[in-house]
């Protein structure tokens, strides 16, 4: 049996010899010049997003939406069956009242994210990395796995396959399968080497997005736990991003992974095979995938925040119009009912369709239908509503 050993090939490449799993190489594996332009775009977008007005209503709504979306996505990647709305509803419940393991997985993820948020940086620091502690990895796996009816996956305990036990990662439909290291001696040694590499001087100050992505990538290749490796790996990535000030995008990117799940899974195998063949820059495609995902994610966060800011301005103008008696109480209530109906039905309606809505009919008890049409026309005139192709829409 070969001796375990570690050799630094250069300032950013650590080659590890294991007992039973052969060689394992930690490397950057990408060409900086080919990703710098997109990296700059991502950081510029995040910098602008971090300047979004810190109004509680905006921050709270963005946070709630990102939380539900992120947990839905990371859970779905691992085979979860809840819809995004069902996920949001479960997250609003008291965790103490939840009995089913399927639901507890969601509240465990929420607790994990809240724990990570305690280490968040308010300032964007794209290249000022902080050491990643081994205890953080164990803590995240424990939070993810706690109180689940999974006897085969003790929380925070490393995997140690017996001769008859097989661990196979991936499947043929997502780029093929992979057998990670099996014996605990190799897993422990590789995890220690992973930490050493991740915190080494020339890796810790790599762009945070790249360091976080590679931390996730190599963690999944080691696959140190019996279960929960995917969720834990994405949380590790989130932790490193949060330390560097990537607010909300740190977990919101999971939706991009879930939407592009085939490419996400396939790249783990593709990059691993390129490294086995000793190809140059074997991690290039994975890094580019993450950067594209971060940019798309942050742009989406901009759009959502702008919608909320627009809504706040709209509400302020509406309240001012009521205060100045430019609109009546009935017209004020009408527009809120119109907003509610459109939100629930997720479509625009004609005047006639709106008039038949029971909540709106109540406002016009003992009033003529003509009064309703006059109220709509007044709100259109003041540009609180507008008409497009015979349908009533919000604003002008």
Residue pointed to by tokens 């625009």? 348
The catalytic position among 32, 174, 223, 336 is: 223
* Per-residue b or e along 132-168, where b marks 16 or more CB atoms closer than 10 Å to that residue's CB: beeebbbbbbbbbbeebeeeebebbeebebeeeeeee
* Inter-CA distances, 282 with 25, 65, 285, 371, Å: 11, 35, 7, 69
Eight-class DSSP state of 158: B
**Which residues are 10's β-sheet partners?**
13
Count the Cβ atoms, other than its own, within 10 Å of residue 352: 11
| Residue in 96, 133, 390 with CA at minimum distance from that of residue 239 | 133
Query: Would the annotation count 234 as a binding residue?
Result: yes
227 annotated ligand binder:
yes
231 carries a ligand binding annotation: yes
232 is in an annotated binding site: yes
- Identify any residues that bridge with 393 across adjacent strands, giving them in sequence order: 386
Structure tokens at 141: 């796996």
Backbone dihedral region of 156: left (phi > 0), alpha (psi from -120 to 50 degrees) or beta?
left
**How many other C-beta atoms can be found within 10 angstroms of the C-beta atom of residue 60?**
11
Which residues make beta-bridge pairs with 388?
391
Q: Which two tokens stand for residue 132?
A: 């990643």
Query: Could you give the dihedral angle defined by the CA atoms of residues 341, 345, 351 and 356, in that order, rounded to the nearest 10 degrees?
Result: -70
302 is catalytic: no
345 burial (CB, 10 Å; 0-12 / 13-18 / 19+) is: exposed
Is residue 230 annotated as involved in ligand binding?
yes
Burial class of residue 358 (count of CB atoms within 10 Å of its CB; 0-12, 13-18, 19+): exposed
Consult the annotation and say whether 229 binds a ligand: yes
DSSP 393: E
**DSSP E strands, the chain:** 5-10, 13-17, 23-26, 169-171, 176-178, 385-388, 391-394
The burial class, CB within 10 Å (0-12 / 13-18 / 19+), for 48 is exposed
Q: Which residues are catalytic?
A: 223
Name the binding residues.
227-234
Name the binding residues for ATP.
227-234
């Amino acid at each position: 049996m070969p001796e375990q050993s570690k050799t630094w090939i250069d300032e950013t490449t650590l080659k590890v010899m294991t007992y039973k799993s052969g060689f394992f190489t930690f490397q950057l594996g990408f060409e900086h010049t080919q990703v710098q332009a997109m990296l700059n775009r991502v950081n510029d977008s995040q910098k602008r997003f971090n300047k979004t007005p810190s109004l509680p209503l905006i921050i709270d709504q963005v946070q709630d939406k990102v939380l539900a979306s992120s947990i839905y996505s990371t859970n779905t990647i691992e085979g979860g069956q809840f819809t995004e709305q069902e996920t949001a509803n479960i997250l609003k419940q008291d965790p103490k009242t939840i009995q089913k393991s399927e639901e507890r997985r969601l509240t465990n993820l929420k607790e994990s994210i809240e724990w990570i948020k305690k280490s968040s940086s308010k300032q964007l620091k794209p290249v000022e990395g902080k050491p990643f502690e081994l205890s953080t990895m164990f803590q995240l796996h424990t939070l993810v796995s706690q109180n689940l009816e999974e006897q085969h996956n003790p929380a925070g305990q490393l995997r140690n396959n017996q001769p008859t036990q097989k661990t196979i990662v991936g499947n043929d439909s997502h780029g093929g399968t992979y057998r990670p290291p099996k014996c605990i001696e190799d897993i422990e040694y590789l995890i220690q080497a992973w930490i050493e590499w991740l915190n080494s001087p020339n890796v810790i100050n790599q762009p945070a997005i790249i360091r976080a992505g590679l931390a996730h990538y190599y963690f999944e290749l080691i696959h140190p736990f019996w279960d929960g490796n995917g969720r834990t790996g994405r949380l590790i990535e989130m932790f490193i991003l949060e330390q560097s000030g990537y607010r909300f995008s740190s977990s919101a990117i999971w939706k991009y992974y879930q939407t592009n799940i085939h490419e996400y899974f396939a790249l783990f195998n593709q990059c691993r095979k390129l490294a086995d063949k000793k190809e140059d820059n074997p991690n290039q495609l994975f890094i580019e995938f993450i950067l594209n995902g971060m940019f798309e994610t942050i742009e989406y966060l901009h759009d959502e925040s702008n919608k909320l800011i627009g809504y706040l301005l709209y509400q302020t103008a509406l309240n001012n119009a009521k205060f100045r008696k430019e609109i009546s109480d009935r017209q004020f209530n009408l527009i809120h009912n119109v907003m509610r109906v459109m939100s629930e039905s997720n479509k625009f309606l004609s005047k006639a369709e709106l008039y038949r809505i029971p909540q709106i009919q109540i406002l016009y008890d003992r009033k003529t239908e003509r009064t309703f049409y006059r109220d709509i026309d007044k709100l259109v005139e003041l540009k609180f509503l507008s008409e497009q192709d015979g349908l009533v829409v919000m604003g002008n």
